[in-house]
Amino acid sequence: MSLSLFPGAEAAPLRLRELRRALRTRLVGRQMLHFARVGSTNEVACRLAEQGAPEGLLVWAEEQTAGRGRMGRRWEAPRGSGLLVSLLLRPSFLSPERAFLLSALAALSIAEAVEKVSGLEVGLKWPNDLLLRGRKCCGILLELGGKAGRIEYAVVGWGLNVNVRFGEGWERRATSLAQEVGSPLPRLPLFLACLERLEAHYMALRAGRGEDVWAGWRRRLKMLGEPVHVSTSEGSFCGEAVDVEPDGTLLVRRTDGTLARVVAADVSVRTIAAA
């Protein structure tokens, strides 16, 4: 299965100076680190968080050699084709039980940014994958650090396929903004929109409006009311995705009528996969 830069796209790096000059946020991007090539932006951000780096630190790379997604999956993208970013937050106001809101706000923010810049309609697949016409274009990975029931830091990482061309074998699984629009997109306006929406929703969360973030995330879920297949470490089952709870738990009505609460699993949506 081949991955390449979309025809006509330039792999020129995003310039730190240009981003700083154009960014209009107060918190997000207070400090920035840019790598041409790195193992994992999340690993860098987590290490710096442990060393006391400030909230708002932004780490991004043109290429990752050990990019990670949910459940230990690799995240691959040609150099300069996407946005590979990690943001350090210190949400001490948030209880660990409500940490899911951080990945929800990231998914909501990036979806809004993509729609604003590209005009594409973006949906979400539980818990936080972004979908274009049923195919994944962005994944989000949340990593937490803390002790004694307190979050000391959170690293929100995301990989967004901007100018990637997916070859044979990817047809039902993944896509990119360029592939859906039919032409390459400049990454800087998209990056700026992502960061500005992230700050706006994070400030809302910090101000006690977590229900707004959750509701915005829930409205974009494309799987509610659809038949799903759930795979967990304890086995697999089929059913219908009924709803989600405020902590991000997915409620699935099994085929035998019982209700399952799904916290961590692979959930495939059959109607989406067949689209």
Give me the pLDDT at residue 234, please: 86
Residues 211 and 258 in one domain: no
Report which residue type is found at 247.
Answer: D
User: Which of these, 194, 245, 203, 201, lies nearest to 224 by C-alpha position?
Assistant: 245
User: What pLDDT score was predicted for residue 42?
Assistant: 97
Residue 214 and residue 254 share a domain: no
Residue 240 and residue 259 in one domain: yes
Residue 260's CATH number: 2.30.30.100
Domain boundary among 194, 219, 244: 219
Q: Report the number of distinct structural domains present in the chain.
A: 2
C-alpha to C-alpha distance for 157 and 223, rounded to whole angstroms: 23
Instruction: Say yes or no: 161 and 256 in one domain.
Output: no
Q: Enumerate residue ranges in the chain where pLDDT < 50.
A: 71, 271-275
Among candidate residues 219, 246, 265, the one where a domain is terminated: 219
- Predicted pLDDT of residue 186: 96
Query: Are 73 and 170 within one domain?
Result: yes
Pairing of strands 164-166, 135-147: unpaired
Q: Are residues 156 and 31 in the same domain?
A: yes
73-116: pLDDT as tens digits: 666 788 999 999 999 999 999 999 999 999 999 999 999 999 99
Output the domain CATH number for residue 179.
3.30.930.10
Token pair listed for 253: 């009505």
Domain boundary among 219, 236, 258: 219
Residues 231 and 253 grouped into a single domain: yes
Does residue 88 sit in the same domain as residue 162? Answer: yes
Same domain for 234 and 182, yes or no, is no
Q: Are residues 194 and 254 in the same domain?
A: no
161 and 76 inside one domain? yes
Predicted TM-score (pTM) above 0.85: yes
**Whether residues 148 and 188 fall in one domain:** yes
Domain that residue 264 falls in = 227-273
Q: CA angle at residue 98 from 97 to 103, to 5 degrees?
A: 125
CA distances from 91 to 142, 151, 156, 239 (A): 13, 7, 12, 35
